[in-house]
């Protein structure tokens, strides 16, 4: 067929508009440090496979797995295939996998001496040529905190001159304010803030983002989203599982560093933040930081810690924390934290935010419950069955929103009781929710940091944790203080009567 | 895919709106496993006007939609020539929800407009629309644009969905369609089918063929699109096959239209340009 070559004054392509084409990431190499770790196996590779199934990866794309383990690329690919088959959310497609596998390489190195660093640089340069990735790099640091500095100091001076570089940094981001600052400074010596993507995978969850839709897309909530109408807020991140094989990490982190410092405080920020002027990364993160800055440091009476003892989960006996594999028999690591927080600003003054997280609680649940003040003067005699209105945002499981309202019980008289109006996320949107890591890896490749944590957010979070850990250090806890399968230590119940 | 259960509700050969509403209410109390009421999350009312010759295709497309758009579906069957009456059948299509004892149920109301009822369907349909949710009208076949039934239903509709490939008189019929652009948002499944073709042409830009070949509706729209977007005149040849396709089913194509909101100015400009060639 003959063609005509169109000459236009503008370089823009008029045929592109309205095609609804998704923005595709530019060509790049994703280099994963810690490629033989659990995170790569359970989350990163299944997420990459899901992106490949949906044709969301760039045409010119490659993956380089990097770890100390000595193995060939073929062996690495075989391990990752097993991981995708086990943890992927899509049916396994050999053709999709073969395409992804053909773009995957592995290099074994401990990255400690200069020759190893140069070897890796050479490998990446060769892959650039082979896959036409133009020198663009995403470095995924899925490694323990101790390994970060050596990687950052090695990668910084070896950045390519031709393409862009982005760095995904996994949690834990430091273990206190000083180490977080040190890590931020180190990162910022070699990379600009818009090149650093600190992952808190909670922000990649659809239902966490739905909190923003719930608040800012619905005119009915925002006018009453303040101290005048809200009695208090409860945020729960409960897990029924124990620590599994993570004792090495968990013994040093505990619940306060594992969940409270990041996920819980992010949920507080999303619940309490002011409406951003737009949905750009800076606007959203500016508003979250304002909340974190306004958080009053809680005193010892406002924080309860706990550690589970033996108990029952779903009828099965489970050991206590101190009996878990590789845990010290006299460990004082907390597996539960509850706190009463105040956001000291105009909107939230004197409105408590009760937050709690724990392991071996009766069920897995992440919920934000907004409890409204009672009607000032209900003109009915029998109000014994009427509870205050509560808006529940269920992050997981049973993703959705429910509102508890008072309704008349049919029959004589005027008995009022609480009923639930329920919106089930999966009922309205009949598509499987993407995994958080899919969204976050794609956003990194696109250079969109909206759902990542900024340096100042991290530091504000650690400042609160440091204050709590400081007064904990002065007193030896009486652990264990709650049985597995219960809702935590009795002291937590005294903070607030938790709604179950 | 989750399993589907069809629950017959009520039917009548001479129904009233009150009876249909009562039957719908009755079905609301249907309980699934565990004695809990099933869920009714609705995101839209989906109407389909289905003349007899399109009945089979419409039913198959609806079945293929499955659980993708929780909605109340109103299937409207004009039966001119018969005695004046309204036939009705009300049923539920219930889908399993992962991890839930309850089902998610869609209401399906089939209405047979017999005799003169087919001439003024608006007053029958309006009470059955879900309040405060968008209404999509899929019109099967060539719409009789200037007739009362069509205009009444379009007035109730947020988005009219047609497939101009079902029309025998193209591209002339596009000039009648464009008159409705100010009244309701219009989707054309033929336009949706051209998406891979348009993407391929956009990718080749600024190289553009001077001749295109495809089925009448799709090729007319592509010709109109090139004219309106880039001021290009191309020769259009009619052949049966699309040159580029992603081979989506009729249900997939309709499903995509049910996710679209608002007007599509690029489609509208393409239709105007295609009509101008008639």
B241 Cβ under 8 Å from any chain A Cβ: no
Average pLDDT for chain A:
90
- A299-322: average pLDDT: 92
CB contact under 8 A, A426 and B98: yes
> For residues A368 and A390, what is the distance between their CA atoms, to the nearest angstrom?
10
> For residues A127 and A61, what is the distance between their CA atoms, to the nearest angstrom?
10
| Closest-approach residue (CA) in chain B for A18 | B266
Bridge partners of A372, per DSSP, are A230
pLDDT of residue A1: 56
| pLDDT > 50? residue B23 | yes
| pLDDT > 90? residue A416 | no
Pairs of residues, one from chain A and one from chain B, whose beta carbons lie less than 8 Å apart: 82
Contacting residues of B for A21, CB less than 8 Å apart? 199
A398 Cβ under 8 Å from any chain B Cβ: yes
CB contact under 8 A, B208 and A3: yes
| pLDDT > 70? residue A220 | yes
- Residue A400 backbone phi and psi in degrees, to 5: 165, -165
A62 Cβ contact partners less than 8 Å away, ≥ 6 residues apart: A29, A30, A103, A104, A105, A127, A130, A131, A133
Contacting residues of B for A3, CB less than 8 Å apart? 204, 207-210
CB contact under 8 A, B70 and A430: yes
CB contact under 8 A, A7 and B199: no
Identify from B68, B69, B205, B225 which residue to disrupt to test chain A contact, counting A C-beta atoms within 10 A and taking the largest count: B205
- A397-422: average pLDDT: 84
Q: Are strands A196-198 and A165-169 parallel, antiparallel or unpaired?
A: parallel
A384 Cβ under 8 Å from any chain B Cβ: no
> For residues B96 and B100, what is the distance between their CA atoms, to the nearest angstrom?
8
Contacting residues of B for A4, CB less than 8 Å apart? 207-210, 232
What are the tens digits of pLDDT across the range A43-60?
999 999 999 998 899 989
Please give the residue that has the higher pLDDT: either B167 or A385: B167
- Residue A20 backbone phi and psi in degrees, to 5: 65, 25
CB contact under 8 A, B211 and A423: no
Please give the residue that has the higher pLDDT: either A329 or A400: A329
Residue A106 banded pLDDT, cuts 50, 70, 90: very high
CB contact under 8 A, B67 and A13: no
pLDDT of residue B42: 80
| pLDDT > 80? residue B80 | no
Q: How far is B243 from chain A (nearest CA, A)?
A: 12
pLDDT of residue B1: 43
- A97-113: average pLDDT: 90
Q: H-type helices in A223-280, by residue range? A: 247-255, 265-272
Min mean pLDDT across A16-20, A242-246, A266-270 is at: A16-20
pLDDT of residue A389: 92
- Residue A138 backbone phi and psi in degrees, to 5: -115, 120
| pLDDT > 70? residue B126 | yes
| pLDDT > 80? residue B41 | no
| Closest-approach residue (CA) in chain B for A4 | B208
Residue A270 banded pLDDT, cuts 50, 70, 90: very high
B168 Cβ under 8 Å from any chain A Cβ: no
pLDDT of residue A500: 37
| pLDDT > 60? residue A375 | yes
CB contact under 8 A, B206 and A6: yes
Q: How far is B65 from chain A (nearest CA, A)?
A: 11
Instruction: State pTM to two decimals.
Output: 0.82
Residue A7 banded pLDDT, cuts 50, 70, 90: low
| pLDDT > 90? residue B224 | yes
What are the tens digits of pLDDT across the range A417-472?
888 888 877 777 777 778 889 999 999 999 999 889 999 999 999 999 999 999 99
| pLDDT > 90? residue A112 | no
| Closest-approach residue (CA) in chain B for A424 | B41
- A320-347: average pLDDT: 96
pLDDT of residue A120: 87
Q: What angle do CA A19, A23, A24 make, to 5 degrees?
A: 120
What are the tens digits of pLDDT across the range A139-180?
999 988 888 888 998 888 888 788 999 999 998 888 899 999
CB contact under 8 A, A3 and B41: no
Residue A496 banded pLDDT, cuts 50, 70, 90: confident
CB contact under 8 A, A8 and B206: yes
Contacting residues of B for A14, CB less than 8 Å apart? 205, 229-230
| Closest-approach residue (CA) in chain A for B101 | A398
Q: Is residue A287 within 8 Å of residue A276, measured between CB atoms?
A: yes
The complex scores an ipTM of 0.80
pLDDT of residue A499: 40
What are the tens digits of pLDDT across the range A277-290?
998 889 999 999 99
What are the tens digits of pLDDT across the range B151-205?
999 999 999 999 999 999 999 999 999 999 999 999 999 999 999 999 999 988 8
Q: Are strands A416-424 and A400-408 parallel, antiparallel or unpaired?
A: antiparallel
Cite the active site residues of A: 263
Percent of chain A with pLDDT over 90: 64
B63 Cβ under 8 Å from any chain A Cβ: no
- Residue from the list B70, B99, B205 with its beta carbon closest to the beta carbon of A13: B205
Contacting residues of A for B268, CB less than 8 Å apart? none
> For residues B146 and A169, what is the distance between their CA atoms, to the nearest angstrom?
62
């Amino acid at each position: 067929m003959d063609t005509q070559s169109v000459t236009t004054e503008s370089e823009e392509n008029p045929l592109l508009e309205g095609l609804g084409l998704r923005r595709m990431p530019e060509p790049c190499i994703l280099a994963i440090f810690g490629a033989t770790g659990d995170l790569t196996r359970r989350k990163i590779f299944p997420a990459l496979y899901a992106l490949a199934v949906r044709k969301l990866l760039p045409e010119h794309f490659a993956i380089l797995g990097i770890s100390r383990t000595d193995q060939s690329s073929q062996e690495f690919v075989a391990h990752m295939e097993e991981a995708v088959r086990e943890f992927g959310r899509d049916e396994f497609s050999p053709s999709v996998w073969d395409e992804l596998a053909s773009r995957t390489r592995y290099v074994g190195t401990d990255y400690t001496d200069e020759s190893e660093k140069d070897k890796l640089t050479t490998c990446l340069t060769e892959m650039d040529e082979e896959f036409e990735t133009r020198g663009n790099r995403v470095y995924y640091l899925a490694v323990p905190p101790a390994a970060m500095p050596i990687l950052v100091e090695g990668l910084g001076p070896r950045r390519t001159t031709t393409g862009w570089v982005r760095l995904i940094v996994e949690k834990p981001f430091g273990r206190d304010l000083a180490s977080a600052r040190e890590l931020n400074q180190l990162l910022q010596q070699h990379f600009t803030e818009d090149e650093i993507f600190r992952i808190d995978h909670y922000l990649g969850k659809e239902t966490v983002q739905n909190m923003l839709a719930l608040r800012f897309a619905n005119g009915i909530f925002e006018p009453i989203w303040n101290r005048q109408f809200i009695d208090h807020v409860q945020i729960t991140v409960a897990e029924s599982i124990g620590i599994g094989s993570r004792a090495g990490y968990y013994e040093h982190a505990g619940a306060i560093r594992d969940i409270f410092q990041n996920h819980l405080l992010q949920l507080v920020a999303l619940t309490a933040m002011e409406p951003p002027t737009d949905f750009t990364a800076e606007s959203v993160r500016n508003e979250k930081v304002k909340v974190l800055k306004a958080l009053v440091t809680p005193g010892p009476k406002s924080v309860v810690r706990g550690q589970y003892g033996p108990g029952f989960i779903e009828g099965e006996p489970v050991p206590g924390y101190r009996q878990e594999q590789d845990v010290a028999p006299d460990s004082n690591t907390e597996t539960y934290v509850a706190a009463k927080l105040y956001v000291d600003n105009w909107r939230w003054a004197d409105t408590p935010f009760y937050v709690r997280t724990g392991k071996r609680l009766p069920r897995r649940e992440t919920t934000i419950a907004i409890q409204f003040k009672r009607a000032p003067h209900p003109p009915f005699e029998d109000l014994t069955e009427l509870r205050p209105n509560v808006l529940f945002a269920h992050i997981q499981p049973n993703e959705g929103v429910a509102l508890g309202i008072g309704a008349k019980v049919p029959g004589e008289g005027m008995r009022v009781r609480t009923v639930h109006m329920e919106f089930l996320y999966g009922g309205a949107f009949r598509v499987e929710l993407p995994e958080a890591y899919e969204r976050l890896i794609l956003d990194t490749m696109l250079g969109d940091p909206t759902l990542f944590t900024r340096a100042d957010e991290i530091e504000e979070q650690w400042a609160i944790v440091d204050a709590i850990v400081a007064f904990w250090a002065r007193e030896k806890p009486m652990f264990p203080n709650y049985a597995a399968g219960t809702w935590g230590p009795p002291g937590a119940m005294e903070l607030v009567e938790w709604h179950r | 895919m989750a399993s589907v259960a069809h629950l017959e509700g009520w039917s009548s050969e001479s129904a009233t709106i009150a009876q249909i509403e009562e039957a719908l209410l009755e079905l609301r109390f249907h309980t699934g496993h565990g004695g809990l009421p099933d869920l009714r999350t609705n995101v839209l009312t989906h109407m389909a006007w289905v003349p007899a010759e399109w009945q089979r295709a419409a039913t198959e497309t609806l079945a293929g939609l499955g659980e993708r758009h929780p909605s109340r579906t109103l299937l409207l069957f004009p039966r001119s020539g018969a005695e004046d009456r309204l036939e009705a059948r009300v049923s539920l299509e219930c889908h399993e929800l992962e991890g839930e004892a309850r089902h998610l149920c869609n209401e399906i109301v089939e209405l047979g407009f017999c005799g003169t009822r087919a001439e003024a369907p608006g007053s029958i349909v309006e009470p059955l629309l879900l309040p405060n949710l968008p209404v999509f009208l899929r019109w099967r076949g060539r719409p009789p644009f200037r007739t009362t039934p069509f205009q009444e239903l379009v007035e109730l509709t947020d988005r009219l969905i047609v497939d101009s490939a079902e029309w025998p008189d193209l591209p002339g019929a596009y000039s009648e369609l464009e008159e409705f652009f100010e009244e309701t948002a219009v989707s054309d499944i033929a336009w949706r089918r051209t998406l891979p073709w348009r993407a391929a042409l956009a990718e080749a830009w600024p190289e553009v063929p001077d001749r295109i070949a495809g089925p009448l509706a799709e090729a007319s729209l592509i010709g109109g699109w090139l004219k309106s977007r880039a001021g290009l005149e191309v020769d259009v040849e009619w052949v049966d096959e699309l040159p580029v396709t992603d081979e989506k089913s009729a249900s997939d194509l309709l499903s995509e239209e049910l996710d679209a909101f608002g007007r599509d100015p690029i489609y509208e400009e393409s239709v105007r340009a295609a009509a101008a060639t008639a």
